[in-house]
Structure 1
Amino acid sequence: MLSELQGIEDRPGLMGALMRFGYGSPLYRYTLIGRSPDRLLGTPPEIFPGSAAGGQAILAGHLSFAGERREVSDMGAAPANAGEAWLCHLNGFAWLGDLRAVGTDQARACARRLVESWIRSHGHWSALPWRPDVTAQRLINWLTHFGFFAAEAEEEFRLTLYTELARQGRHLARNIAKAPSSSKRITSLKGLIYCGVSLPGCDKYLNQGLRQMNIELRRQIFPDGGHISRNPSVQLQLLSDLIAVTETLAAAHLEQPVWLKDAVRLMAPMLRSMRLGDGGLALFNGGAMEDADIIDQILSKSNMRVRTISSAPHSGFQRLSAGRSTVIMDAGNMPGRDANRWGHAGALSFEMSAGKERLIVNCGGGGLGGEWRQALRSTAAHSTVVIGDLNSAPVNPAGGSARSARQVTSSRRELDGNTIIEAVSEGYEQALGLTHRRLLMLEPDGTELQGEDQIYGKPGIAFDARFHLHPNIQATVIQDGHGVLIKPHRGKGWKFTAGAFSLTLEDSVYFDAPQRRRRCQQIVLSGLTEASGTTVKWRLARL
């Protein structure tokens, strides 16, 4: 439903205007008035410490997030041209942890000043700062870091903060369903649970939050532990949220529901399975590489021995690992709009690492907007086959797919001690009458990846098999255009060949983090489909 897909600030037409008018009216502000606490029952534990370097930057008047560095001295006026991710981070107050890491009286005073400035400037509803997930993040961080910035503050400041916590808790409880995506509803429920744990007389928030979170997890988590967004970064964030809720309940001496522990046990192996050799995440469906140390911390806090999943058919991923090589393949459908508004048309694409070096990659795209976001969602931005210069699933500029994603299926089998992944995409069936089938096989010692792309259906259609190379790779065409020498920064070189097909090197681009664009290259082999079917065999072998 549209009401669940967009933030209030995005909604078009009369309904959106009426909702904005209603939330901004004095009447709605009046409905948020109620009893305010004069104390907290306790404060949630800080799960992941902040960065002292980030805190020092804030003291100097700058806040960095999602590739943007902006001035921040007054919460009343947003910097010009600031991106949505940066604004959400600013209004969500996660950076209070950075000031806490500094730990000085100056840092405490700065935190109080900015919190007070926010209350003064945004005490009345406005679209983005009061969006459910942003409100939840703010409540989470105000409560978590209360002891740092507010415990020894003047009574007037504390009473104002208590009142604001109560008002925003009421707003959040009413508007959980209006979070702009499935994953953000879970973040919003985390905020409601924190209010229920910390604010006197708010047991109803705790009960509501836990009840609805159980429902959302059953709806959003596949049986193999993957999230319906099919975005590894979202998998990381949600597992972090669930661990934080678990530890917060434990700190408050409250029972931890079995379903919550089960969700952590289910999601942790899937997160580990999305890591390449450098410890970062593979880039699928808008995700970023993320910080390997943070991933380690989250997996450690799952309090279990985390295994690696090779086959995740519900989530749509397949993994091969041998020797020092790892291959992760997208063998699933493009996620639905409510699951991931900015999902990618990357069917049958894969990423590969050797040791800690990434070799074959997708172009990434986490956190970007506008033309770049649309370009990076395209099939051509992935290491897969592009047919007829079309996307395997039409990507709508407003989010989602222009039509229902076609079926992608996958299977695994053993052959002479080797594991073969086979995946089939019908993404081109409707537009071109073509089916793409890809097979991948990694040698048991990890020194050679063999691939086969088969295209069946209408003849005479141009196709390009694209293999994007990590920016750290030096590539050289050899053998009169029938091979490419691949040399990573560290470790041995590799050679890519594709039989009789001629290979070319073309420019490409790589975003492993928001706003961080890096130049790279891609191997491209091209041809026309044949009536009897087209088969392209290729191999990547270590020298």
Structure 2
Amino acid sequence: MSEGHALQRLARVPLLQRLATRGKPPLRLVAVARDHVTGNKAAGEQLLGGRFVAGAEAMDLAELDWSALGTSSPLAVELHGFSWLRDLAAATTREKGAALAEGLAARWLATHGEKIDPAWAPALWGERLLFWLAYAPYLLSRRDAAYRKALLNTMARAARHLASVGDEASPGLPRITAWAGLTASCLLLSSGTARLARAEGGLARALASAQHDDGGLMSRSPAEQAMLVDRLGLLRSAYAAARHDFPQGFEDAGAAALAALHGVTMGDGTLSSWQGGNEGSRAELAAIVEGCGFRARPLRVPRGWGYHRLSALGTALVIDAAPPPGAKLARVGSASTLAIELSDGQQKLVVNCGGAGRLAGSLPEGLAEALRTTAAHSTLTLADTNSTAILPDGSLGKGVTDVAVERSEDNDASRLEATHDGYVRGFGLAHSRALSLGNDGKEVRGLDRLIARGRKKLREDVPFAIRFHLGAGVEASPTADGLGALIRSPGAPPWTFRCRGAQLGIEESVVVDGAGQLRSTLQLVLVGEVSSLGGEIGWQFRRSS
């Protein structure tokens, strides 16, 4: 039996008859939102071939058992959210894609449509509603009246459910997603108009509790920031389809979110790697930025978002100048304070090692934890100790609580100096990093200082290491005097590196690419010892031409 016939057979179950009779008929769509974001055509073609892939996980759709799938793995979450409808639409016509989309939706209804279970988690329903409403033509093409009514009535039930439990979603992006989905359903389902004000109020609260006033999420995750822009863009389309004015507060939140996202985007169009995330997909990020409907310039001087940006003539430098995110607002956090990423045009020169991001579970657990350490970021580590402790249960402990930042610009360079207190409690030393980027984009100067502070006094010298993890494909060779290195890459002119106050070594390293896979690379490592009096280490990256 073909997959199409199997899906049709599985869809024809008595349950659909019961689901079709729920609600207050006749239920209909007022309009269909248009998703302006182009999906991944290759992923869509895999779907048409009967295979669903999420990072290192894959599944044969003919063997998909919604009841056994669960909701914990990245693959399960992706499937349950139905965001893959976007990829399917990018790969085929509505006529061809509808058979697959409707078959999977019917099977989902048969398993989860009648009872409230983990698949009804508020964030999952929020995402599901956003994509079901945006791709309704792919889900409502068949002439089976029972199926159509079952789908619409289940969406209406979900909306009533979200109106009661939206605030039970985890704070941050999950709660925003839940309320955004409810708001879209109120605009586009004929039964939802009466709940619109409540939905808009819930979304406004969710944004206020999760988004800094500079637009950045309090989770400080660039990957989540991209999803925030996407969610608000989908909602914007729902307002347009329903011919309602998009509330100014949501417009402002979306534009600010996009500015913060631009602020952590490097010259190659991918993200800088922070808070357990990786660079992501260049094509996916570009599609979100182009299709979201918002417009903004990169956020250079943040407040709560914390990622400062220096840029000049194609050279971009991003520094994490804030404490790690609070445990309640971040699924994972990293001890990355004062780390940097540096790109020259489309070539990333200095990076952080990154993490699995949305594909959590694609990396071995021990490695995933190691990638959250200070040593996995391009900054200073004192005595092989994280600037913010990572506890055995994976949560963040004591460490950085305050980061002081001073910034200035003149005709010669952009300058920033930031100081954190993560090593004061244990070592009596504060870490300060001063950066300057020449206005010609050819030179980055850095000065790392360890400054005596607090009552703690070291009884003996302790070691330090300053690491600069190099981008994938970037090579480094030492200079004859051992105080520098020549840095070559396929995508940029050669750069030279020089240092003083430390011994320079070149060691192996790894980075996690946008697909969640490990790639081998190199790192520059400056090592030495520091006393209770403190010390300073100077360094410089300079483009050779």
Give the TM-score, by structure 1 length.
Answer: 0.88
C-alpha separation between the residues in 1 aligned to 2:373 and 2:170?
A: 23
One-letter amino acid of the counterpart of residue 115, structure 1: A
One-letter amino acid of the counterpart of residue 439, structure 2: P
One-letter amino acid of the counterpart of residue 215, structure 2: G
CA contact (8 A) 2:484 2:499 kept: yes
CA contact (8 A) 2:102 2:138 kept: no
Query: What does residue 114 of structure 1 align with?
Result: 104
Cα RMSD of the aligned pairs, angstroms, is 2.5
Residue 532 of structure 2 is aligned to residue 531 of structure 1:
yes
Residue 34 of structure 2 is aligned to residue 45 of structure 1:
yes
Query: What does residue 342 of structure 2 align with?
Result: 352
Name which of 384, 387, 401 aligns with 1:389: 384
One-letter amino acid of the counterpart of residue 508, structure 2: D
Query: What does residue 482 of structure 1 align with?
Result: 483
Go from structure 1 to structure 2 and tell me whether the alpha carbon gap of 1:390 and 1:515 turns closer, same or farther (over 3 Å shift): same
Residue 126 of structure 1 deviates from its aligned partner by 6.8
C-alpha separation between the residues in 2 aligned to 1:111 and 1:299?
A: 26
Deviates more, 1:351-360 or 1:221-230: 221-230
Deviates more, 1:110-119 or 1:200-209: 200-209
Query: What does residue 59 of structure 2 align with?
Result: 70
CA contact (8 A) 2:171 2:210 kept: no
C-alpha separation between the residues in 2 aligned to 1:309 and 1:378?
A: 26
Residue 490 of structure 1 deviates from its aligned partner by 2.4
One-letter amino acid of the counterpart of residue 99, structure 2: A
Residue 199 of structure 2 is aligned to residue 209 of structure 1:
yes
CA contact (8 A) 1:74 1:114 kept: no
Query: What does residue 153 of structure 1 align with?
Result: 143
CA contact (8 A) 1:363 1:511 kept: yes
CA deviation map 1:186-206 (0-9, x unaligned): 111111012211222222432
| 3-state SS, counterpart of residue 217 of structure 1 | helix
Deviates more, 1:470-479 or 1:308-317: 308-317
C-alpha separation between the residues in 2 aligned to 1:247 and 1:174?
A: 25
CA deviation map 1:127-156 (0-9, x unaligned): 542221112222222222222231333112
| 3-state SS, counterpart of residue 237 of structure 2 | helix
- Return 5+ residue gaps in structure 1 as ranges: 1-28
Residue 267 of structure 1 deviates from its aligned partner by 2.2
Deviates more, 1:259-268 or 1:65-74: 65-74
Query: What does residue 25 of structure 1 align with?
Result: none
Go from structure 1 to structure 2 and tell me whether the alpha carbon gap of 1:355 and 1:429 turns closer, same or farther (over 3 Å shift): same
1:139-538 matches, within 5 Å, as 139-301=129-291, 306-365=296-355, 366-367=357-358, 368-369=360-361, 370-403=365-398, 405-414=400-409, 417-457=412-452, 458-459=457-458, 460-499=461-500, 501-538=502-539
C-alpha separation between the residues in 2 aligned to 1:105 and 1:259?
A: 38
CA contact (8 A) 2:166 2:202 kept: no
One-letter amino acid of the counterpart of residue 241, structure 1: R
Go from structure 1 to structure 2 and tell me whether the alpha carbon gap of 1:462 and 1:539 turns closer, same or farther (over 3 Å shift): same
- Return 5+ residue gaps in structure 2 as ranges: 1-17
C-alpha separation between the residues in 2 aligned to 1:439 and 1:162?
A: 57
Go from structure 1 to structure 2 and tell me whether the alpha carbon gap of 1:126 and 1:539 turns closer, same or farther (over 3 Å shift): farther
Residue 538 of structure 1 deviates from its aligned partner by 0.8
Q: Percent identity?
A: 30
One-letter amino acid of the counterpart of residue 391, structure 2: N
Name which of 93, 96, 103 aligns with 2:85: 96
Residue 110 of structure 1 deviates from its aligned partner by 1.7
CA contact (8 A) 1:44 1:248 kept: yes
CA contact (8 A) 2:66 2:108 kept: no
Go from structure 1 to structure 2 and tell me whether the alpha carbon gap of 1:295 and 1:477 turns closer, same or farther (over 3 Å shift): same
Deviates more, 1:166-175 or 1:248-257: 166-175
C-alpha separation between the residues in 2 aligned to 1:506 and 1:80?
A: 42
C-alpha separation between the residues in 1 aligned to 2:40 and 2:448?
A: 46
Residue 168 of structure 1 deviates from its aligned partner by 2.3
Go from structure 1 to structure 2 and tell me whether the alpha carbon gap of 1:482 and 1:88 turns closer, same or farther (over 3 Å shift): same
Name segments (4+ residues, structure 1) moved above 6 Å. 78-83
C-alpha separation between the residues in 2 aligned to 1:462 and 1:179?
A: 44
CA contact (8 A) 2:411 2:439 kept: no
One-letter amino acid of the counterpart of residue 381, structure 1: A
CA contact (8 A) 1:420 1:440 kept: yes
Residue 125 of structure 1 deviates from its aligned partner by 4.8
C-alpha separation between the residues in 2 aligned to 1:538 and 1:383?
A: 13
CA deviation map 1:436-481 (0-9, x unaligned): 0000111221111111100123441211111100111011122243
One-letter amino acid of the counterpart of residue 367, structure 2: W
CA contact (8 A) 1:340 1:400 kept: no
CA deviation map 1:74-131 (0-9, x unaligned): 4425788997222110111111233333126443222211111111222355754222
Query: What does residue 13 of structure 1 align with?
Result: none
CA contact (8 A) 1:337 1:399 kept: no
Deviates more, 1:312-321 or 1:286-295: 286-295
CA contact (8 A) 2:233 2:294 kept: no
Go from structure 1 to structure 2 and tell me whether the alpha carbon gap of 1:426 and 1:299 turns closer, same or farther (over 3 Å shift): same
One-letter amino acid of the counterpart of residue 309, structure 2: R
CA contact (8 A) 2:313 2:439 kept: yes
1:2-41 matches, within 5 Å, as 34-35=23-24, 37-41=26-30
Query: What does residue 3 of structure 1 align with?
Result: none
Give the TM-score, by structure 2 length.
Answer: 0.88
One-letter amino acid of the counterpart of residue 69, structure 1: A
Aligned length: 514
C-alpha separation between the residues in 2 aligned to 1:78 and 1:375?
A: 34
